[in-house]
Structure 1
Amino acid sequence: METELITITEYCFKYDIEPEFIVSLEDSGIISLITVESEKCIHIKQFGELDRYIHLHYDLQINIEGIDAIRHLLEKVDAMQQEIKELKSQLHLHQ
C-alpha cells in the first residue's frame, strides 16, 4: 500500500508547487490526504484530479473556491451524461 502513496513534500518538490496549495485542497474537501507516520500523503488514484487542479490554479489563476465550483459542475455534467446514456439505452429497448 505504501507504494501507492507519496508524501506531500515529495509531490510538491517533483511538481514545483506549494504544499499549502495541497493542504488548502484538503481543507476545502476537494481531495483527501492520508496521514502515515505523522506525514500527509497523496494516494496515486488522486494524481489525475490533482494535476487538473494544479493546472487550474497555477496556469489559469483559479482560486480554491473556483476549483471547487468547477469540480462540482464537472461532476454534474458527468452524472447528466450517464443519465443520457441510460435513457438512450432504455429508448432502444422500447423501439
Structure 2
Amino acid sequence: MRKDDLIPAEEICVRYKVQRQFINSLYESGIIEIVVEEETEYIHCDHLSNFERMMRLHRDLDINLEGLEAVNHLLNQIKELQQDNLRLRNRLGLYE
C-alpha cells in the first residue's frame, strides 16, 4: 500500500467538517477501513467515496449509524448482484 494513497483521518475531519467520532463509528461498523502507520490513522483513497456517500446520507437525510450500516449492506449486495449479472451475461454470450 502506497503512502500516497492514504489520507490522514484528521485531514478528512477538517475538510469535511465531521467529528472524529463519526469516522470511528464508520470504521467500527465496517463501512470504511482505517490504516494505522507510525501512530497516525489514515483512510485509503479507495474508501473515500464510500465515506462521502455515508456522510451525505447522514447529513442530508439524517440517517443514523444503524441505518447507514443497512444502506451499506444493501449497496454491497447490489454491487455483487450486478457483478454476477455481468458474469452470467458474458457466459451466455459464449453460447449464442
TM range, smaller chain: 0.7 to 0.9
* Partner secondary structure for residue 32 of structure 2: coil
Note if 1:82 corresponds to 2:83.
Answer: yes
Matches within 5 A, 1:56-95: 56-95=57-96
Shift of 1:59: 1.3
How has the CA–CA distance of structure 1 residues 90 and 15 changed in structure 2, closer, same or farther, with 3 Å as cutoff?
same
Please provide the CA RMSD for this pair: 1.5
**83-92 or 73-82, larger mean C-alpha shift:** 83-92
**Residue identity in the other structure for 1:13:** V
For the residue of structure 1 that corresponds to 2:43, the secondary structure is strand
| Divergent runs of 4+, >3 A | none
Query: What is the distance in 1 between the residues matched to 2:55 and 2:69?
Result: 12
Residue pairs, 1:1-95, within 5 angstroms: 1-95=2-96
Identity, in percent, stands at 36
Superposed CA offset, 1:72-91 (max 9, x none): 11111111122222222233
Q: Which runs of 5+ in 1 are unaligned?
A: none
Which whole-Å CA distance do the structure 2 matches of 1:86 and 1:11 have between them?
A: 36
Whole-angstrom CA distance in 2 between matches of 1:86 and 1:38: 42
Q: Take 2:72 and 2:5, find their aligned partners in 1: how far apart are those partners?
A: 24
Normalization by structure 2: what TM-score? 0.85
3-state SS, counterpart of residue 41 of structure 1 = strand
Contact 2:34 2:44 in 1 (8 A): yes
Using structure 1 for the length normalisation, give the TM-score: 0.86
